[in-house]
Structure 1
Amino acid sequence: MASDDTVELNYRHQLAVARHAIQSTLAISCKPIVSTKFSEESAIFLHLVSQVQPGIAVIWVDTGYNTRATQSFASEITERLDINLHTFEPLDHTIIMPPALDDPEHAAFSREVKVEPFQRALKTLRADAWLSSIRRYQSTHRKSQPMFQTLSDGMLKTSPLLDWTAETMTRYRLENQLPLGAPCFDPTKGEAFRECGLHLDRSTA
């Protein structure tokens, strides 16, 4: 078999698995949500999910530290894909220089600007399933994650793109003529390939 055939089979398999994961989650949930941060490749997952379930609720935690480019990209994708967007912001937060990773204040800062707004979003929308776009190659923590998991609070979390490669992401984006966003600044991460807290079990995040 030609190598091109193998590449095509792997791509189609990854697409089918992702769609099946989305469909399976939707079939057993009443209030599913999608999370996004409108980073460079966010349009890919938002497009994929919207093809399966138009109008699904999308949560965006706007930390207050996003650039104008990210804000513009969020507006563009929301309009283009007709996204049912729900934006949540930190409560009573003053913009400051984000604490360094070794600063004792960093954990509290992360909870204030990202984790608490996300938890509030889930409660407000009464979500019972969370569709996330994480991939294994993004961090050490994500390498060992299952595609389906029940979090400590009973939330079903599904990661349909978990086994997608960077090449799969690029091909899907190009085939569907989706734009790339600007680099997204996350004040809670401090460095690449580090978890921000949302993708750790929220009982300890």
Structure 2
Amino acid sequence: MGPNASSQTLQPFPDRIFHHNADLNSMNHRFVGAKPSEIMQFTMANAQNPVVFTNFRPLAVAFLHLVTDAKPDIPVIWVDHGYNTPETYRHIERVVKTLNLNLRTYAPKMSAAHYNAVYGGIPQLDTSEHDFFSRTVKLEPFNRAMQDLQPDVWLNGIRHDQNAHRKNLDVFTQGNHGTIRVAPMFHLREIDVEEYVYENELPDNDVYFDPTKGEEHRECGLLLEK
């Protein structure tokens, strides 16, 4: 799957490398053309307290399979904002059982029913009301999870082909909460990930809705926070 790796053996860097002043340019240069599994091997050899964030969107199961294959007990952060489709909730149950996920669920301090009753449901995009909504149902629970778990590495499943913002990122980037974000599938295409799901006979979810994005190629806000 994905680009061919170089024949060079990928050894860990000396000392602790995942810190906020890490030389990410060198790491990204070193892993150009590397397979996602090699990026994962390197990350797990050097991370002290890695975590995963997922929203169980379509094809996210491939990333979860890749990560848990390298570290089965890694904490998997999921923010249950309360607006998922019934199919997504059933899909999550299947994936948790299939991969035996160490799932850490975080919920907003205000339930979806409470928010809808007080504020009248999901606000329109690109308004101050929607900014408040996103902070309430997704960003605050995510920040709480990061404060609780104190990771040095935040693994996520972003790819370069998902939107314009992500195209300008890389495998290793600066994350919030003093983390280094690692995206082992960053250089793959959607078809590569679809093939991974098919080849590994993984359950997928194709009825998905993220109320903080509204549109498929928008950012939900997590990658935009400093």
TM-score, structure 2 normalization: 0.80
Match of 2:144 among 120, 129, 132: 120
Q: Is the contact between residue 172 and residue 183 of structure 2 (CA under 8 Å) also seen in structure 1?
A: yes
- The residue aligned with 1:78 is 96
Matched, 1:100 2:124: yes
- The residue aligned with 1:26 is 44
Identity of aligned residues (%): 39
- The residue aligned with 2:12 is none
In the alignment, residue 43 of structure 2 is paired with which amino acid? T
TM-score, structure 1 normalization: 0.88
Matched, 1:68 2:95: no
Match of 2:53 among 23, 27, 35: 35
Q: Is the contact between residue 122 and residue 133 of structure 2 (CA under 8 Å) also seen in structure 1?
A: yes
Distance 1:166 1:119, change over 3 A: same
Q: Shift in Å at residue 31 of structure 1?
A: 1.3
Distance 1:52 1:136, change over 3 A: same
Q: Deviations over 1:170-205 (max 9, x none)?
A: 1111110112213221111121200000111x22xx
Q: Is the contact between residue 65 and residue 187 of structure 1 (CA under 8 Å) also seen in structure 2?
A: yes
Match of 1:179 among 194, 199, 203: 203
In the alignment, residue 140 of structure 1 is paired with which amino acid? A
Partner of 1:78, secondary structure, is helix
Matched, 1:141 2:159: no
Mean CA deviation greater in 40-49 or 143-152:
143-152
Q: Shift in Å at residue 74 of structure 1?
A: 0.4
Q: Write the distance in 2 (CA, Å) between the matches of 1:49 and 1:153.
A: 21
Q: Shift in Å at residue 27 of structure 1?
A: 2.3
RMSD: 1.8
Matched, 1:155 2:179: yes
Q: Deviations over 1:130-181 (max 9, x none)?
A: 0000011111100010210123542110011111111111111111011221
Q: Write the distance in 2 (CA, Å) between the matches of 1:192 and 1:145.
A: 18
Aligned residues: 194
Q: Is the contact between residue 54 and residue 60 of structure 2 (CA under 8 Å) also seen in structure 1?
A: yes
Q: Write the distance in 1 (CA, Å) between the matches of 2:174 and 2:96.
A: 29
Q: Write the distance in 1 (CA, Å) between the matches of 2:43 and 2:166.
A: 20
Q: Deviations over 1:2-58 (max 9, x none)?
A: xxxxxx7x5554995212222222222221011111112111111111111111110
Instruction: Kindly report structure 1 stretches of 4+ aligned residues shifted beyond 3 Å.
Output: 10-16
Q: Deviations over 1:108-149 (max 9, x none)?
A: 111111111111111111211100000111111000102101
Q: Write the distance in 1 (CA, Å) between the matches of 2:55 and 2:169.
A: 20
Gaps of 5+ in 2: 6-31
In the alignment, residue 39 of structure 2 is paired with which amino acid? A
Gaps of 5+ in 1: 1-7
Q: Is the contact between residue 110 and residue 137 of structure 2 (CA under 8 Å) also seen in structure 1?
A: no
Q: Write the distance in 1 (CA, Å) between the matches of 2:33 and 2:191.
A: 12
